[in-house]
Chain A
Amino acid sequence: MNTYLALVKREILDGKNGYIRVPLILSGLALAMVFLSSVGIGELNLVRDIDHDQVHNIGDALNLAQQEEPADLPAAVTAGYWVMSALMWVAFPFVIFFSLLGSLYEERRDRSILFWKSMPVDDWQEVAAKLFTTVLVTPVIFFGVAIAAQLTSAVLLSVVVLFQGGPVSALWPLGLMISSWFSMFGHYVIWALWALPVLAWVLFVSAYASRLPFMWAILTPVIIILAELMFFDTHVFAEWLGRQLGGWQEWAFHDLGQGRHIDGPREALNMVFGAAQWEALKFSLTSMRFWSGLVVAGGFVYGAIELRKRGT
């Protein structure tokens, strides 16, 4: 256990720019924008166009919303907080990609692999720690920062609304917020399992490439797609790639929205934060494609371990 903690700690230290600084800086930026715009919201054209004479600031807007759509407001606020923390999630896939790409490549480039190998840690433990940290610890940190940012925006907005004389309690739909944190994380885990063959491919390239790992990781699938198109005039591989990277949701949620009238943010949110995860899980666990993807992932991870055994 001690070994795993030390390995994960080392990985976080190694990647702290991407794992910690990037989400902190981006969410700080988003918070500053939230705060500045909430103070000055009465001046925004957007709100003026809504054509409510009595709305001059965010406090007024909340009062009005509470009168007219009391049932939907908590959901709207919760969704709003997620939108505010959206900026850092844009960086997230890049952080994952480049962390995996460098994880087994950099240690060979700077020869530190010989130091790591002088320690009683098996190659499979090293590879597992790298994959685990990138795919699971990184999102935990990102979610942690996102949650802190959401709570901070709630505090900032509360202060603003307090001064403007609006309903502060409307800014704290805590129950919904907490359940949204869990369901979003659950959704991420299912997404990551689908994407695992692609993530493991990047890890494999990182162990394989003697130089230019980026080219290997990106060009190989591009060439396969183009070759398939040229010789067979099909795009099976491209479809597979798209499906593993998120396209599966189209099938998973196929029945979800159908025959259902979504009325307002509450129902939309309930659907996204409630039913969707179970649908996704049910769909995934019964999907051959899901399982075959995991088998492919296992192959690449095995390859990465074997390559690391030989690497110096």
Chain B
Amino acid sequence: MTEYVIEANGLAKSYGDFQALKPTSFKVPLGRILGVIGENGAGKTTMLNAVLGLMSYEGNLSVMGNDPSKERGKLMQDVCFIADVATLPKWMKVSEVLDYVEGVHARFDRPKAMSFLNRTKVPLDRKVRALSKGMTVQLHLAVVMAIDAKLLVLDEPTLGLDIIFRKQFYASLLEEYFDEDRTVIITTHQVEEIEHILSDVMFIKDGEVVLEADMDELTQQFIELMVSPGNEEEAAKLNPISKGTTFGKTTCIYKNIDREELAKLGETRRLGLADIFVATMTGEGQ
């Protein structure tokens, strides 16, 4: 039997007339890395806030058997998150942040946090206020990766970090943190950087979950065809979901069309997640 970390049934949230999240149902199993992708204001943070017990909601939601809106304190034994804004207390020293987490969190492994921090230039006796933006994020990531949680939610975790650190972070998330007993949920704008580590993906648009899929299946569904000259008409007959031109050649994107068949008309290649996202969001992919 699959163990689910999150089970949502008709989960919704509205502020007055505005529906930030339309009724949606989904399940997230254990041992996955789920990318939640959507434009700004699409409802990603709203959905995650509900899962994290940061706000009230309509519908049914169970996170590891708990109702997050009622049992946030208990839930946080097994769940950890980084919100999309810098939240570490600026008046605290780095070492005091570690002291505090050690004091309140039974599953915090301080030596592990130190080993992450030792790879960075974050000084322990400095106040968070005095750290650069990058160092603040490094500190926060070191803290959460040293917590033995079942569910880790990262909302735009690498915002403002340089490319080298971002690569390192995702590498160590995959190699040193992730295993089959944990689930990680990531939202980010830099889709290209995370698509190779994702096992599942969810697209959100205007408060609605428009796509929920296994990463491997999804990338097999979408095929881009660079049409060989003369085959344009035939390519158009197969109902491409979008059409364009690159280097004077026609390119078409297809969903659920046999790859063999397309290969006769030209060069085929798999579509990146970002392109799939764009194709889906523009409405033609559905």
Q: A and B from one assembly?
A: yes
Residues in B whose Cβ lies below 8 Å from that of A121:
73, 76, 104
With an 8 A cutoff between CB atoms, is B49 at the interface? yes
Inter-chain contacts of B281 with A (CB < 8 A): none
Q: Is B190 an interface residue (CB 8 A)?
A: no
Which residue of B76, B100, B140 is within 8 Å of A6 (Cβ)? Answer: B100
Q: How does the 8 Å CB contact mask read for A102-145 relative to B, with 1 for contact and 0 for none?
A: 00000100111111111111110100000000000000000000
Please name all residues of chain B whose beta carbon is closer than 8 Å to the beta carbon of A119 when the two chains form the complex. 76, 101, 104-105
Does residue A215 face the partner (Cβ distance < 8 Å to B)? no
Interface presence of B80 (CB below 8 A): yes
CB-defined contacts of B213 to chain A, threshold 8 Å: none
Q: Does B216 contact A (CB under 8 A)?
A: no
CB of A287 within 8 A of chain B? no
C-alpha gap A10/B80 in the complex (Å): 20
**Residue contact B55 to A310, C-beta cutoff 8 Å:** yes
- Once A118-B81, A121-B104 are accepted as A-B contacts, the answer to whether A312 and B88 lie under 8 Å apart by CB is no
| Interface of A (DSSP majority class) | helix
Does A162 have its Cβ within 8 Å of any Cβ on chain B? no
| 0/1 interface trace, chain B 70-110, chain A, CB 8 Å (1 if under) | 00111111001111011111111000100111111110000
| A1-19 CB contacts (< 8 Å) to partner B | 2-3, 5-7, 9-10, 13-14
Residue in B75, B87, B102, B140 whose Cβ sees the most chain A Cβ within 10 Å: B87
Closest residue of A by beta carbon distance from B89:
A112
Question: B74 — nearest CB in chain A belongs to which residue?
Answer: A120
Interchain nearest-CB distance for B138 vs A (Å): 15
Q: Inside 8 A of B74's CB, which chain A residues have their CB? A: 120, 122
On chain B, the residues within 8 Å of A5 by CB distance are 103
Which residues of the other chain, B, contact A2 by a CB distance below 8 angstroms? 103-104
In the bound complex, what is the Cα–Cα distance between A2 and B85 (angstroms)? 28
B54 lies within 8 A of chain A by Cβ? yes
Q: How far is the CB of A117 from chain B (nearest CB, A)?
A: 6
| A112/B90 in contact, CB under 8 A | yes
Q: What residues of A have a CB within 8 angstroms of the CB of B90 in the complex? A: 110, 112
| Shortest distance between the CB of A105 and any CB in chain B (Å) | 14
How far is the CB of B140 from the nearest CB of chain A, in Å? 8
A50–B163 Cα gap in the complex (Å)?
81
Chain A residue with Cβ nearest B81:
A118
Interface range on chain B (Cβ under 8 Å from partner)? 35 or more
B61 to chain A, nearest CB (A): 15
- Looking across the interface, which residue of chain B has its beta carbon closest to that of A311? B54
**Complex interface: chain A residues within 8 A of B105 (CB):** 119-120
Select one of A10, A107, A122 contacting B72, CB under 8 A: A122
A110-B89, A114-B54, A114-B85 known; A6+B99 contact, CB < 8 A: yes
Chain B residues numbered 130-163 whose CB sits less than 8 Å from any CB in chain A: 140, 144
Residues of A within 8 A of B144 (CB): 118
Beyond A110-B89, A114-B87, whether A7 also contacts B104 by CB under 8 A is: yes
- Are the C-beta atoms of B56 and A120 separated by less than 8 Å? no
* Contact, CB under 8 Å: A312 / B99: no
Distance between Cα atoms of A6 and B80 in the complex (Å): 19
Task: Take A6-B103, A120-B105 as given contacts and tell me if A111 and B86 are in contact as well, using a CB distance cutoff of 8 Å.
Answer: yes
> Contacts of A6 on B, CB cut-off 8 Å?
99-100, 102-104
Whether A9 touches B55, Cβ cut-off 8 Å, given contacts A118-B76, A123-B73, is no
Q: Are A111's CB and B96's CB within 8 A? A: no
Residue of A nearest to B101 (CB): A119
* A112 x B82 contact (CB < 8 A): no
Nearest chain B CB to A196 CB, angstrom units:
25
Rounded to whole angstroms, the CA-CA distance of A82 and B92 in the bound complex is 35
Question: Which of B83, B100, B101, B102 interacts with A114 by CB under 8 Å?
Answer: B83
Output the least CB separation between A1 and chain B (Å).
10
Let me know if B104 and A3 touch, CB within 8 A: yes
**Bound state CA distance, A121 and B77, in angstroms?**
9
Q: How far is the CB of A150 from chain B (nearest CB, A)?
A: 32
CA distance A159 to B28 in the complex (A): 75
Taking the closest CB of chain A, its distance from the CB of B38, in whole angstroms, is: 19
Question: What residues of chain A lie closer than 8 Å to B75, measured between beta carbons?
Answer: 120
> Do A115 and B89 have beta carbons less than 8 Å apart?
yes
- Chain B residues with CB under 8 Å of A10's CB are 92, 96, 100
Contact among A13, A114, A120, A312 with B92 in the assembled complex (CB-CB below 8 Å): A13
* CB <8 Å contact, B104 and A111: no
Q: A121-B104, A312-B54 are in contact. Are A14 and B91 (CB under 8 A)?
A: yes
Closest to B54 in A: A312
Contact between chains at B73 and A111 (CB < 8 Å): no
* 8 pairs, CB–CB < 8 Å, chain A vs chain B: A2-B103, A3-B103, A13-B96, A111-B86, A111-B87, A115-B87, A120-B77, A312-B49
The 6 closest A-B pairs by CB, nearest first: A6-B103, A122-B73, A120-B76, A115-B87, A114-B87, A112-B89
* Chain B residues at the A interface, C-beta cutoff of 8 Å: 49, 52-56, 72-77, 80-83, 85-92, 96, 99-106, 140, 144
Which residues does A use to contact B, with CB under 8 Å?
2-3, 5-7, 9-10, 13-14, 107, 110-123, 125, 309-310, 312
Please give 9 more A-B residue pairs, beta carbons under 8 A apart, in addition to A5-B103, A117-B76, A119-B101.
A6-B99, A7-B104, A110-B89, A111-B85, A114-B87, A120-B77, A121-B104, A125-B73, A310-B56
